Structure 1
Amino acid sequence: MSASAPTAVISDLRDRIARLEGGNARERAVLPFGIAAIDRVLPGGGLALGALHEVAGGGNGAIDGAAAALFAAGIAARTHGKVLWCVTRPDLFAPAIAQAGLAPDRVIYVEAGDETSLLACFEEGLRHPGLGAVVAEVARLSMTASRRLQLAAETSGAIGIAVRRWRRQTEAADFGQPTASITRWRVSVLPSSPLPVPGVGRARWQLELIRCRAGKSADFEVEASDDKGRIALPSNVVHGSPQKEIGRRRASS
């Protein structure tokens, strides 16, 4: 055996351990949000590609999953290639997904009969090299299942998004259980952006980064995904509220 053989074996073992721990020996490619306040708390400056992420709705959103689905659609819209979307309930509103930037001709829908079948479709989709993202609505996600999904995502380089959605509010406690996901998000609906004329402004979310491997937890008030899949900071968050601006002008005069 050559002298380089033990070194190669050790290197291979290190790579395997890193994958099992949710890491990667190579630097991961990322998908930035384009918002400095969010990207700076994410390792690498964005959502890791070739990785599993979790999203859930806050409050009633834990049941209807609407805001979580739109957040996931905005992320998937900014990837390249087809998007596989797996569900067990046929209530996904495709026009809303399109408004979040995910065009209908990019989405392949799969309706599974139960959670076991859905997780199998989720994993198989993540192993397919031609998909940009795989989204699946799941209620329960064990550590074993999430590790399989994470390894599958690393194999293809696709981003996996588990939209956690439950049938009863009490089941949402499962969201606190540990998984192999790289990040975990919660999206809660806020009053829409005010308009100077009668009407409904752009939707707003309270976006919570509950868990981030090798990163920090944080929360943000953002405007919902536009038709390009991009979220934004409200103007009163970026520049300060109009009331504060009026106060500053009065004080200076």
Structure 2
Amino acid sequence: MPARPFNPALAALREQIAAMEGDGGPARGVLPFGVPDLDRRLPGGGLALGCLHEVAGGGNGAVDGAASCFAAGIAARLPGQVLWCVTQADLFAPGLEQAGLGPDRVIYVEAGDDVSVLACMEEGLRHGGLGAVVADVARLSMTASRRLHLAAKGSGTTGIALRRWRRQQEAYDFGQPTAAMTRWRISVLPSAPLPVPGLGRARWLIELIRARAGESLDIELEACDGTGHLGHPAAVAGRPAQAVSA
């Protein structure tokens, strides 16, 4: 098939749309998850750095579930301090540490409401000296998400909007469009039984609901370990790649 001729008007329109969506600025690289089935669905083979991403809990964890640990696992694998903005001081620090994000790397900011949290997140993203900025927010408008995405693109700091709701009924807002590069939903699954009594590694259903220039995906994985990495369940870890992705 012959190459299409260059169309200046079409190129200008694409640049205008990219600017409106907050995609201007240089690419900052990606952070691979180390799970091929997941990484190949993401542009560049990993989570885009220097952008805004959106994470929420699913199922019974919609109010308070594994989403925080998923976000902590991402932040744990980025160098530098992590700014975590909350409306209430109710994060379980040992749980974040199990996902690889130790207390010595986290700077907590407690604000009174979503508006203040978003303002703190934007300031943290614009600072440019942090490894990541995470903010617990119940609502995230398109306007607010664009500001955060542009701030992340400008400084190269990765932002994670962690959608945490106080009541199950508030979760409907997660369906509204935002400027985030990716949108994730993390649901808790039963742990695999062990041959001896004990606690098994937690398992999650990870839904990549949206990825710009990527593909959606539902995949069951073991929760983040002490280094922030996800893993295939032991039952499928040794199987051929064709069988794992089937």
In the alignment, residue 153 of structure 1 is paired with which amino acid? Answer: A
Verify the 8 A CA contact 2:77 2:228 in the aligned structure 1: yes
Partner residue of 1:160? 159
CA offset at residue 200 of structure 1? Answer: 1.2
Partner residue of 2:176? 177
Q: Deviations over 1:43-78 (max 9, x none)?
A: 0110001100011001221112x3000000000000
Structure 1: where are the runs of 5+ without partners?
1-10, 245-253
In the alignment, residue 107 of structure 1 is paired with which amino acid? Answer: V
Q: Deviations over 1:133-184 (max 9, x none)?
A: 0001000000000000000000111110011011221211110000000000
Q: Please give the alpha-carbon distance, in whole angstroms, between the structure 1 residues aligned to 2:34 and 2:51.
A: 19
**1:2-41 equivalence runs, <5 A:** 17-24=17-24, 26-41=26-41
TM-score normalised by structure 2 residue count: 0.88
Q: Please give the alpha-carbon distance, in whole angstroms, between the structure 1 residues aligned to 2:145 and 2:211.
A: 15
In the alignment, residue 21 of structure 1 is paired with which amino acid? Answer: E
In the alignment, residue 37 of structure 1 is paired with which amino acid? Answer: D
| Cα 1:229/1:134, change in 2 over 3 Å | same
Verify the 8 A CA contact 1:43 1:215 in the aligned structure 2: yes
Q: Please give the alpha-carbon distance, in whole angstroms, between the structure 2 residues aligned to 1:14 and 1:224.
A: 38
CA offset at residue 28 of structure 1? Answer: 3.6
* Helix, strand or coil at the partner of 2:227: coil
| Cα 1:117/1:148, change in 2 over 3 Å | same
CA offset at residue 99 of structure 1? Answer: 1.1
Q: Which has the larger radius of gyration?
A: 1
Verify the 8 A CA contact 1:57 1:67 in the aligned structure 2: yes
Partner residue of 1:93? 92
Verify the 8 A CA contact 1:15 1:25 in the aligned structure 2: no
Q: Deviations over 1:63-102 (max 9, x none)?
A: 12x3000000000000010000000011101111111100
* Helix, strand or coil at the partner of 2:66: helix
In the alignment, structure 1 residue 69 sits paired with structure 2 residue 68: yes
Verify the 8 A CA contact 2:133 2:157 in the aligned structure 1: yes
Verify the 8 A CA contact 2:122 2:147 in the aligned structure 1: yes
Q: Please give the alpha-carbon distance, in whole angstroms, between the structure 1 residues aligned to 2:63 and 2:120.
A: 22
Q: Please give the alpha-carbon distance, in whole angstroms, between the structure 2 residues aligned to 1:169 and 1:99.
A: 26
| Cα 1:153/1:25, change in 2 over 3 Å | closer
In the alignment, residue 223 of structure 2 is paired with which amino acid? Answer: A
Greater helix percent: which structure?
1
Partner residue of 1:79? 78
Q: How many residue pairs are counted as aligned between the two chains?
A: 230
Q: Deviations over 1:194-251 (max 9, x none)?
A: 21111110000000001111111101100001010001011223345xxx9xxxxxxx
TM-score normalised by structure 1 residue count: 0.86
Q: Please give the alpha-carbon distance, in whole angstroms, between the structure 2 residues aligned to 1:213 and 1:12.
A: 19
Supply the RMSD in Å over aligned alpha carbons. Answer: 1.9
Partner residue of 2:205? 206
Q: Please give the alpha-carbon distance, in whole angstroms, between the structure 2 residues aligned to 1:183 and 1:228.
A: 22
CA offset at residue 14 of structure 1? Answer: 7.3
In the alignment, residue 197 of structure 1 is paired with which amino acid? Answer: V
Structure 2: where are the runs of 5+ without partners?
1-10
Verify the 8 A CA contact 2:28 2:156 in the aligned structure 1: no
